[in-house]
Amino acid sequence: MPTRKKIAAIVTEYFAGSHADVVVTKFLKGFPTDNGFQAPRVEIVSMYIDQVAEQDIGVGIAAEHEVPIYPSIVGALRLGGESLAVDGVLLIGEHGDYAWNEKEQQLFPRKAFLEQICGVMATSDRSVPVFNDKHLSYNWHDALWMVERMASLGAPLMAGSSLPVCWRNPWLEHPAGTRIDEALSVGFSGLEIYGFHTLEVLQCMVENRLGGESGVEAVTCLEGEAVWEAAAEGLWSRDLAEAACAAIENRPQGRIEDHCSQPAIALIEYRDGLRGSALMLDGYIEDLAYSARLSDGQVVATEFFAQGHGGEDDVGAHAHFAYLSLNVEEMFLTGEATVPVERTLLMTGVLEAMLDSRHSGHRRLETPWLDVCYASPPPAPWRPRSRRPTGACLDPWPPA
């Protein structure tokens, strides 16, 4: 049998249901999919946990799978030696006791972690793929540095949300070159934590439009009654929100306003004239969805169904992370990212601009730095083919 590629897991905190758990644990135990259980094709050989909290399960899981935990990122990448000794890195910088700033951003050390990872690569004269969970950083400067530093080392970098590779109901994907006049995604919860997911739902669809991606010209964040006033003024289309919400099965009866007293929206002005919106409807929905008006006037919509929103009692919770993890694993095996890091870079910048707009009194913020261009990407190799999770992925692990 050929030697499996060795992967280091660098995480901030590891508790039940954390991002470390829903990603790293699958790399240790396997991936539940609609087509059955998929055994790992790579091997977690080292771990670094920045904060071992009272509710930690990482230490126990690492011991169960005989994975050594190192006291430093450098040690985990070198396996105690003098140079890089792994073939890939999982960087899970989500959760933990880290400060917040005045814009309600939690200051996770993703850039600081990657800086150390890149340092080990540079001094070892060898580069390996890295996956960074969720958005790249809380600020554009660090996010851009992360992408450019990895590129300078010739190291593949992949990042982002699990939402682009979760179930869609009904199944919808724009073919490359689709003419889109306006698009909208709906989400819920905090503007940073789930705002990023809502933005990537939008971007993974509109990046397939005619001409590909050319960047974002301006972003405006609105909250409360100003959201509905903006719709009345034609700044975004209420019918697209209704269409997106109609695709969500688990929603209450009645008007959105009857359940959502404090909506928020990011109005995104793309450089090619596309109008995009990310509408947060906390209190009304607990799922995400997308809708678009095509150039022929047709409105299309789909729910992005992420299994696991039912809470701790949801059997097989977070199975959608299996598809994200399988795409990351594919990168480790092939040396090529399966989704464009430019998508996450652009939405990292839009997310920061949205929060800056809110912090500065909900003003329109021009974003000349968000000139991120990339072509329509091919579909990710690992994606669910059904509209809803099947019984094959309900039990996360195979029988003993």
Judging by beta carbons within 10 Å of its beta carbon (0-12, 13-18, 19+), is residue 166 exposed, middle or buried? Answer: buried
Residues 6+ apart with CB under 8 A from 68: 45, 46, 47, 62, 79, 80
Residue 72 falls within a domain, yes or no? yes
Residue 310 falls within a domain, yes or no? no
Q: 278 and 176, same structural domain?
A: yes
The token duo for 159 is 């990042």
Q: 158 and 16, same structural domain?
A: yes
pTM: 0.95
Q: Is the dihedral of CA 289, 196, 183, 282 positive or negative?
A: positive
Question: For position 313, what pLDDT does the model report?
Answer: 41
Question: For position 399, what pLDDT does the model report?
Answer: 63
Q: 179 and 156, same structural domain?
A: no
Q: 120 and 56, same structural domain?
A: yes
- The rounded distance, in Å, linking the Cα atoms of 209 and 207 is 6
Q: 157 and 25, same structural domain?
A: yes
Total domains present in the chain: 2
Q: 128 and 187, same structural domain?
A: no
What dihedral angle (degrees, nearest 10) is formed by the CA atoms of 190, 265, 140, 383? Answer: 70
What dihedral angle (degrees, nearest 10) is formed by the CA atoms of 277, 282, 284, 286? Answer: 90
Q: 131 and 29, same structural domain?
A: yes
- Residue span of the structural domain in which 193 resides: 165-305
Q: 146 and 26, same structural domain?
A: yes
- The rounded distance, in Å, linking the Cα atoms of 102 and 359 is 8
Q: 191 and 117, same structural domain?
A: no
- The answer to whether the CB of 32 falls within 8 A of the CB of 395 is yes
Lateral strand order in the sheet of 157-160: 43-49, 6-11, 88-92, 130-133, 157-160
- The rounded distance, in Å, linking the Cα atoms of 23 and 352 is 25
Residue 322 falls within a domain, yes or no? yes
- The answer to whether the CB of 322 falls within 8 A of the CB of 395 is no
The token duo for 305 is 């169904």
- The rounded distance, in Å, linking the Cα atoms of 345 and 174 is 21
Within the chain, which residues score under 70 in pLDDT? 1, 307-317, 396, 399-400
Beta strand pairing call for 275-280 and 180-187: parallel
Residue 313 falls within a domain, yes or no? no
Q: 175 and 47, same structural domain?
A: no
Tens of pLDDT, residue by residue over 27-54, are: 999 999 988 889 999 999 999 999 999 9
Q: What angle do CA 84, 89, 92 make, to 5 degrees?
A: 140
Residue 393 falls within a domain, yes or no? no
Question: For position 231, what pLDDT does the model report?
Answer: 97
Residue 394 falls within a domain, yes or no? no
Residue 355 falls within a domain, yes or no? no
Q: 327 and 277, same structural domain?
A: no
- The rounded distance, in Å, linking the Cα atoms of 168 and 384 is 9
The CATH number of the domain where 120 resides is what? 3.40.50.720
Radius of gyration of the chain from its Cα atoms, rounded to whole angstroms: 21
Which three-class secondary structure state does DSSP give residue 20?
helix
The token duo for 227 is 């959201």
Question: For position 190, what pLDDT does the model report?
Answer: 87
The residues that bridge with 366 in the sheet, in sequence order, are 218
Residue 311 falls within a domain, yes or no? no
The token duo for 118 is 């890149």
What dihedral angle (degrees, nearest 10) is formed by the CA atoms of 152, 373, 136, 220? Answer: 150
State the CB neighbour count (10 A cutoff) for residue 179: 12
Tens of pLDDT, residue by residue over 187-219, are: 998 899 899 999 999 999 999 999 999 999 999
Which stretch of DSSP H or E encloses residue 160? strand 157-160
Question: For position 314, what pLDDT does the model report?
Answer: 45
Q: 75 and 134, same structural domain?
A: yes
Question: For position 254, what pLDDT does the model report?
Answer: 87
Residues 6+ apart with CB under 8 A from 96: 12, 13, 50, 51, 53, 108
State the CB neighbour count (10 A cutoff) for residue 199: 28
Largest CA distance in the chain: 64
Judging by beta carbons within 10 Å of its beta carbon (0-12, 13-18, 19+), is residue 218 exposed, middle or buried? Answer: middle
Domain boundary among 305, 330, 356: 305
